[in-house]
Structure 1
Amino acid sequence: MHEHGFDHAHIELQLAHIERNEVSAAYNHALYLPQRAAMMTWWGNYVESVAKGNVLPLRRLTA
Structure 2
Amino acid sequence: MNMEVHNWGLQVGNVQIDAITSSSVFLVGDSEDIILSSFFDTPPEATMIGSIVPLSG
TM-score with structure 2 length normalisation?
0.21
Larger helix fraction of residues: 1
**Bigger RCO (CA 8 Å, 6+ sep):** 1
